[in-house]
Structure 1
Amino acid sequence: MSLLKLLGVLLDYPRDEIWEHGDELLAAADDPGLPPPRRRALVEFVQRLLDTDPLVAQDGWLSLFDRGRSMSMLLFEHIHGESRDRGQAMVDLIEAYRKHGFELAARELPDYLPLLLEYLSQRPQAEARDWLHHVSHIVGLLAARAAERGSPHALLFELLVEHAEGELELGALRRRASEEPRDDTAEAIDALWEEEAVRFGNQAPDENCSPKGPQHARPGDIREARS
């Protein structure tokens, strides 16, 4: 298992398969290509995850990545927000996947970081580094925000920036993150729902608009296209 695929699996919602393939994940984390301190830290991250009850790990993931937008792993959320440009960027990314023989299921969002990492893990290293270099400013800020919240996931984002050979000014990013208002509190989430409800005009939002847990694609869902 390559480093990018491993990081995609570890950043994704922790499904039961994580614990079923623990030995494989530990072996992949013990990557001789990493500097020894990073190698030890990654092995420790995986071991800590495997030692955690799945329900506890899943709840922790939801609390970090599924509440508020600042920790969203939908990359275009950070670049385009709700603008029309986001839709075109999605189309362009899907076309890039298809060009190299990959298809996504209808419900999958192509800019979901773990899914992108699955794709890049199967591309030439230089190409993967170039892709990551272009989003390293987002990934670096996610690293800083995760560290500010005391999450061990900060390590995974930092490794991605380093893999892209980017310069991670963690101190400056941590200061920026510390000054940002938190958007994962109950008050912030309530305010966001109230703000977005206005977009429906005189009609109340359909009950299907309520969140139902993680709806993102997972790395294992990306499949090679069949002729």
Structure 2
Amino acid sequence: MLLRLCSLFLQYPDSEITAARPVLGSHVEGLPPSPAAEQLAAFTAWFTAEETQALERHYVEMFDLRRKSSLHLTYYLHGDTRRRGMALLTLNQRYRAAGWDADSGELPDHLPVVLEFAALTGPGGGEAPLRQHRRGLELIQHALTDADSPYRHVLAALLTLLPPPTEADRAAVSRLAAEGPPNEEVGLDPYGTYEDGEFAPPGTFVPPMAAPPTRVPPADPTLTRVEGNR
């Protein structure tokens, strides 16, 4: 439920999403007490009070115009390099191996898509992409906090569901904030190798094992992902 709510809140706030605010708010109110529920309650208080146009402007400013709070997770690992294309392909393979077709019109690393996959597939494999991109999620949350954006509460709620960051994670996030994602280099091996100081852990691009196609229906029709049309 928490993952599905985070997925919906991080989508573009079009008319369909904003019309569903009362229903979403009631689901947040019904969550068991937890740090994540408190964070989502803080976000919902702002989200339900703002005018639709103000929500749209704020969303575009935070997620479309600022690289440090982009919702495309592979950007933080690979920047605009050829390795990012391989990472996107691997993520798509993971979805297909689980029998899930995002069919969203978004890239497979778009955070709302990754969150919906985790919500539908469950712990373990479903949440693996979130754990893999934890450092990017930390950077997004820091950027939203620096901008005093209420969306920081959604990222804070999500991070409470993941294992605590390690010292290596904290150091990598600080370095990433200071230096930015990697840039394409002339003569870069198109298949890529891992060197000291890079953010991608070994085994990042290992394709997942295939599984029989399955589809998991959403538990509540009101929480089915709504794709924003910009």
- TM-score, structure 2 normalization: 0.68
Could you say which residue in structure 2 is the equivalent of 1:4?
3
Which consecutive residues of structure 1, in runs of 5 or more, have no partner in the other structure? Answer: 183-217, 222-227
Aligned partner of 1:97 among 95, 98, 113: 95
Q: Deviation at 1:34?
A: 4.2
**How much has 1:15 moved relative to structure 2?**
1.2
Question: Does 21-30 or 87-96 show the bigger shift?
Answer: 21-30
CA distance in 1, matches of 2:151, 2:71: 12
Could you tell me how far 1:27 is from its partner in structure 2? Answer: 2.3
2:48 to 47, 50, 75: 50
Given residue 149 of structure 1, which amino acid in structure 2 is its aligned partner?
Answer: A
Q: Does 1:153 align with 2:147?
A: no
1:180-221: CA deviation from partner (whole Å, max 9, x where unpaired)? 599xxxxxxxxxxxxxxxxxxxxxxxxxxxxxxxxxxx9435
Structure 1 residue 31, shift from structure 2 partner? 4.8
Give distance in 1, aligned partners of 2:146 and 2:165: 19
Preserved contact between residue 39 and residue 157 of structure 2 (Cα < 8 Å) = no
Q: Could you say which residue in structure 2 is the equivalent of 1:113?
A: 111
Q: Indicate the RMSD between aligned Cα atoms, in angstroms.
A: 2.8
Match of 1:84 in 2: 82
Cα 1:89–1:54 change in 2 (3 A) is same
Give deviations 1:82-113, integer Å, cap 9, x for gaps.
Answer: 21111111111111111222224484310000
Structure 2 gap ranges (5+): 181-223
Q: Distance in 1 between matches of 2:55 and 2:9?
A: 11
Corresponding letter in the other structure for 2:11: D
SS for the counterpart of 2:66 is coil
Structure 1 residue 14 and structure 2 residue 13: aligned?
yes
- For residues 181 and 90 of structure 1, the distance between their equivalents in structure 2, rounded to whole angstroms, comes to 23
Q: Is the 8 A contact 1:13 1:61 kept in 2?
A: yes
Residues of 2 paired with 1:43 and 1:30: CA distance?
7
Shifted more, 58-67 versus 127-136: the winner is: 127-136
Distance in 2 separating the partners of 1:18 and 1:220: 7
CA displacement, residues 121-151 of structure 1 (integer Å, 9 cap, x when unaligned): 1012233343322211111111111101111
Higher relative contact order (CA 8 A, sep 6+): 2
CA deviation string 1:145-188 (max 9, x = no partner):
1101111111111111110132389xx79x959x8599xxxxxx
| Closer/same/farther in 2, CA of residues 55 and 106 from structure 1, 3 Å limit | closer
Looking at secondary structure, tell me which structure has more helix per residue. Answer: 1
SS in 2 for 1:70: helix
2:211 corresponds to: none
CA distance in 2, matches of 1:31, 1:165: 24
Partner of 1:206: none
User: 1:13 and 1:138, CA in 2 relative to 1: closer, same or farther beyond 3 A?
Assistant: same
Normalization by structure 1: what TM-score?
0.69
Contact 1:8 1:114 in 2 (8 A): yes
Distance in 2 between the 1:141 and 1:154 partners?
11
2: CA distance, partners of 1:148 / 1:168: 22
User: Which residue of 112, 120, 125 corresponds with 1:127?
Assistant: 125
Aligned pair count reads 180
By how many angstroms is 1:74 displaced?
A: 0.5
